[in-house]
Chains A and B, each alone.
Chain A
């Protein structure tokens, strides 16, 4: 129910025990390391210690190899598509098993080898395709690729851009070098492929004549025989390459079963990497190392017990004046899913307050209020429950679906109050398909028939929440030793509101005036000078406008409740229009699916927004920095850090 108390921890240990010590910290997961570099500016420290460096390079290479192997598996042995991954649970021993890691690394190595070979084959194939493309135009019966020039006649193969007309070229050539001839071999969209026969003595002139036409000679080094022969040869080579590549791909595919192993290895490597990177927070002189951080206050005894097994010196201290420890929220397990709502906004500041116990009830109630429907509630609960049981999702996704169960129950309850079951489907169904039978669920409040009543309820609910928020503010001030401040902030406003209420009821403006005076007198008390104080007080009257806005904002409770019912109702009526039951069922399913989809997101956001803005605005201190301990942070597996008999005792 609270923000966890933190303590400063400082530790000096032996360098040779560093590894094991860090491993212990990672196992316990209750210490966050903080930056120590600024200590080096103190000459006493700086002369003795320096910042530790890490040998993370090797780990990073292994990690990228293993990740690469997983990516290859994804490509060549795609897994069955599933929305969620079930995370296997391992004991700490299994997770830290070096043999498993080495095996996985060996597999990754194999896969990487195959990948390299595949890349090589691929590039060779590309090269072949290029060469083949170059040969195709020269594929003429009997034309050898070699240089078949004779002693007198030079025969050159060449290309000309297709833009030039061959006749023109020939004319120019004949002018310059009459003893030559241009024979066309092939034409395509881009180029002319030609054979240039010319007497060796006229070779230069011929070349000069052709130059303006961008004639370039083509040679086929290293190739003998005709184009056809070479094409056939290349074809065979290509086929072999394809076969070889496919063999490698199949090899990778066959290793598809090693996916879980590789995933485990990735997680393991990440943890080792975390420990290595943690070294950047350490100061060392080669023999000893110094470490500083935040520790969870209540784990102090356990930490002491464990650390005593090592040769080290440590101290625990309350946070100093001006230091802000990171924020960690602790709540009963069933309340945790509401964390999702708080985290999305901002964690509370360390000296603030944990809002979860409050918004747990408010948020879930508001959501139910706005979504109110028996059937939707059941659907929401069932779907969330199935996913939680089957896939056991973690972190934010886990919070989301566990929260979904509560939201479903709340929606169900409010659905009972408003008598909504898929909107008014029973009424519509009875009217149209059961011969006018009137089926109606009993209800307490019905937004469709009595919107004003619901609006008033909504605003009253809002007033209750804001009033509660102000009480939390008073509590916080009392807790921090400033009770007068708390009351002075809040009570004048209560007097003012009571005064407005009385005036509306026609009982005279006396209380209202008292309230105004109280506000003017108290709200400026932090300003300097008498005028400052008065002015501040008067200016605070202006806050009435933001109060007005706040009250009105709660009308969205009614607006969204109505919107969900309206759309559901219309979908039902739509379904009854065609007149037959099959059409009804189809339209019914599609329509309500849409309604749930659209309104689910909207209701969540607006329920959350009421917490963030109208409620938190009364007391919240935001800006907390999340607590990031050295701990197991795994993506694919879950590590069970529970300790068994005898472990950790001595």
Chain B
């Protein structure tokens, strides 16, 4: 058993969760919008552009997760070919740092998706009020940004020299 790489493995799990969960959340959110969008389009195909715009909104969490994942893996030296070996506690610290965007991204994307879907339903009744629907959906976005920031600053602030073997 190579305990030396267990820490790095745990770290990579953390990074994977960041992108995996955040993207899942976005997928669910975008999907929820799409479901409502299909109903809206069935009534009036002309609303496609509105549907698309609102549907994209919950998609940002996935991007944030990807950004966090890239940053995390870069800290691990994944892309430069020299992977650092984290101790087990170091790996756990790393994974903990990835948690905010993982959990926050997942759940906020789902919440945002339902909100954007409701906004879409409103648009089918009042197309001129689309901007209001967008504003309300973007309010939810803020918390995903906070989570991304927390993850980023934590990953940035970890003392990697002390955590490697």
Q: Do chains A and B touch in the complex (CB under 8 A)?
A: yes
* Chain A residues engaging chain B, CB cutoff 8 angstroms: 344, 451, 556, 559-560, 562-563, 566-567, 570, 573-574, 577, 594, 598, 601-602, 605-606, 608-609
B85 on interface, CB distance cutoff 8 Å:
no
Query: Which one of B12-20, B29-37, B143-151 is at the interface?
Result: B143-151
**CB-CB under 8 A for A451 and B153, given A570-B67, A594-B63:** yes
**CB-CB under 8 A for A566 and B142, given A605-B135, A609-B135:** no
Contact assessment for A556 and B70 in the assembled complex, using a CB-CB cutoff below 8 Å:
no
Give me 9 A-to-B residue pairs in the complex whose CB atoms sit less than 8 angstroms apart, sorted by A's number: A559-B146, A563-B148, A573-B70, A574-B70, A598-B60, A598-B63, A602-B60, A602-B145, A605-B135
- Closest A-chain residue to B146, C-beta based? A559
Contact assessment for A605 and B148 in the assembled complex, using a CB-CB cutoff below 8 Å:
no
Shortest A391–chain B CB gap in Å is 18
Q: Which residues of B have CB within 8 Å of A570? A: 67, 70-71
Tell me, in angstroms, the Cα distance from A574 to B71 when the chains sit together: 9
Q: Which residues of A have CB within 8 Å of B74? A: 573
Shortest B130–chain A CB gap in Å is 11
Q: Which residues of A have CB within 8 Å of B132? A: 344
B94 on interface, CB distance cutoff 8 Å:
no
Tell me, in angstroms, the Cα distance from A598 to B59 when the chains sit together: 10
Contact assessment for A577 and B149 in the assembled complex, using a CB-CB cutoff below 8 Å:
no
Interface residues on B, range: 20 to 34
Contact assessment for B139 and A344 in the assembled complex, using a CB-CB cutoff below 8 Å:
no
Contact assessment for B67 and A566 in the assembled complex, using a CB-CB cutoff below 8 Å:
yes
Q: Which residues of A have CB within 8 Å of B146? A: 559
Contact assessment for B139 and A609 in the assembled complex, using a CB-CB cutoff below 8 Å:
yes
Contact of A562 among B70, B71, B149 (CB under 8 A): B149
B96 on interface, CB distance cutoff 8 Å:
no
Q: Which residues of A have CB within 8 Å of B79? A: 577
B138 on interface, CB distance cutoff 8 Å:
yes
Q: Which residues of A have CB within 8 Å of B64? A: 567
Shortest B58–chain A CB gap in Å is 12
B118 on interface, CB distance cutoff 8 Å:
no
Contact assessment for A567 and B149 in the assembled complex, using a CB-CB cutoff below 8 Å:
no
Contact assessment for B63 and A560 in the assembled complex, using a CB-CB cutoff below 8 Å:
no
Tell me, in angstroms, the Cα distance from A182 to B68 when the chains sit together: 79
Chain B 123-165 per-residue mask, 1 if CB under 8 angstroms from chain A, else 0: 0000000011011001101100110110011000000000000
Shortest B44–chain A CB gap in Å is 15
Tell me, in angstroms, the Cα distance from A563 to B68 when the chains sit together: 11
Contact assessment for B135 and A608 in the assembled complex, using a CB-CB cutoff below 8 Å:
yes
Contact assessment for A344 and B145 in the assembled complex, using a CB-CB cutoff below 8 Å:
no
Contact of B145 among A559, A573, A574, A608 (CB under 8 A): A559
Contact assessment for B60 and A566 in the assembled complex, using a CB-CB cutoff below 8 Å:
no
Tell me, in angstroms, the Cα distance from A594 to B67 when the chains sit together: 12
Of B63, B132, B135, most buried by chain A (CB within 10 Å of CB) is B135
Q: Which residues of B have CB within 8 Å of A602? A: 60, 138, 141-142, 145
Q: Which residues of B have CB within 8 Å of A566? A: 67, 71, 148-149, 152
- Given A563-B148, A566-B152, 19 more pairs with CB closer than 8 A: A344-B131, A344-B132, A556-B142, A559-B146, A562-B149, A562-B152, A563-B145, A563-B149, A566-B71, A598-B60, A598-B63, A601-B134, A601-B138, A602-B60, A602-B142, A605-B138, A606-B138, A609-B135, A609-B139
Tell me, in angstroms, the Cα distance from A574 to B79 when the chains sit together: 10
Tell me, in angstroms, the Cα distance from A453 to B129 when the chains sit together: 39
Shortest A57–chain B CB gap in Å is 27
Q: Which residues of B have CB within 8 Å of A577? A: 79
Q: Which residues of B have CB within 8 Å of A344? A: 131-132, 135
Tell me, in angstroms, the Cα distance from A606 to B146 when the chains sit together: 13
Contact assessment for B63 and A559 in the assembled complex, using a CB-CB cutoff below 8 Å:
no
Q: Which residues of B have CB within 8 Å of A606? A: 138, 142
Q: Which residues of B have CB within 8 Å of A451? A: 149, 153
Tell me, in angstroms, the Cα distance from A631 to B126 when the chains sit together: 25
Of A344, A556, A562, A567, most buried by chain B (CB within 10 Å of CB) is A567
Tell me, in angstroms, the Cα distance from A573 to B152 when the chains sit together: 15
Chain B 53-72 per-residue mask, 1 if CB under 8 angstroms from chain A, else 0: 00000001001100100110
Tell me, in angstroms, the Cα distance from A606 to B70 when the chains sit together: 26
Shortest A40–chain B CB gap in Å is 33
What are the nearest 8 A-B pairs in CB distance?
A: A605-B138, A570-B67, A563-B145, A577-B79, A605-B135, A598-B60, A566-B152, A562-B149
Shortest B96–chain A CB gap in Å is 19
Contact assessment for B70 and A560 in the assembled complex, using a CB-CB cutoff below 8 Å:
no
Tell me, in angstroms, the Cα distance from A559 to B60 when the chains sit together: 16
Tell me, in angstroms, the Cα distance from A609 to B74 when the chains sit together: 35
- Closest A-chain residue to B152, C-beta based? A566
- Closest A-chain residue to B132, C-beta based? A344
Shortest A553–chain B CB gap in Å is 10
Tell me, in angstroms, the Cα distance from A451 to B152 when the chains sit together: 11
- Closest B-chain residue to A612, C-beta based? B135
Tell me, in angstroms, the Cα distance from A606 to B137 when the chains sit together: 11
Q: Which residues of B have CB within 8 Å of A605? A: 134-135, 138-139
Tell me, in angstroms, the Cα distance from A559 to B64 when the chains sit together: 14
Q: Which residues of A have CB within 8 Å of B145? A: 559-560, 563, 602
Tell me, in angstroms, the Cα distance from A68 to B153 when the chains sit together: 60
Tell me, in angstroms, the Cα distance from A605 to B135 when the chains sit together: 6
Q: Which residues of B have CB within 8 Å of A559? A: 142, 145-146, 149
Shortest B127–chain A CB gap in Å is 14
Q: Which residues of B have CB within 8 Å of A567? A: 63-64, 67
- Closest A-chain residue to B131, C-beta based? A344
Tell me, in angstroms, the Cα distance from A562 to B60 when the chains sit together: 16
Tell me, in angstroms, the Cα distance from A608 to B138 when the chains sit together: 12
Tell me, in angstroms, the Cα distance from A567 to B66 when the chains sit together: 10
Shortest B149–chain A CB gap in Å is 5
Q: Which residues of A have CB within 8 Å of B148? A: 563, 566
Q: Which residues of B have CB within 8 Å of A598? A: 60, 63
Shortest B163–chain A CB gap in Å is 21
Shortest A593–chain B CB gap in Å is 12
Tell me, in angstroms, the Cα distance from A15 to B131 when the chains sit together: 44
- Closest B-chain residue to A567, C-beta based? B67
- Closest B-chain residue to A594, C-beta based? B63
Tell me, in angstroms, the Cα distance from A542 to B71 when the chains sit together: 42
Tell me, in angstroms, the Cα distance from A9 to B100 when the chains sit together: 62
Q: Which residues of B have CB within 8 Å of A562? A: 149, 152
Shortest B51–chain A CB gap in Å is 16
Tell me, in angstroms, the Cα distance from A645 to B141 when the chains sit together: 57
- Closest A-chain residue to B74, C-beta based? A573
- Closest B-chain residue to A447, C-beta based? B149
- Closest B-chain residue to A449, C-beta based? B156
Shortest A543–chain B CB gap in Å is 22
Q: Which residues of A have CB within 8 Å of B70? A: 570, 573-574
Tell me, in angstroms, the Cα distance from A556 to B145 when the chains sit together: 9
- Closest B-chain residue to A603, C-beta based? B138
Q: Which residues of B have CB within 8 Å of A608? A: 135
Q: Which residues of A have CB within 8 Å of B152? A: 562, 566
Tell me, in angstroms, the Cα distance from A521 to B142 when the chains sit together: 38
- Closest A-chain residue to B128, C-beta based? A396
Shortest B144–chain A CB gap in Å is 9
Shortest A605–chain B CB gap in Å is 4
Q: Which residues of B have CB within 8 Å of A560? A: 145
Shortest A395–chain B CB gap in Å is 12
Shortest A138–chain B CB gap in Å is 40
Q: Which residues of B have CB within 8 Å of A601? A: 134, 138
Shortest A75–chain B CB gap in Å is 14
Shortest A14–chain B CB gap in Å is 39
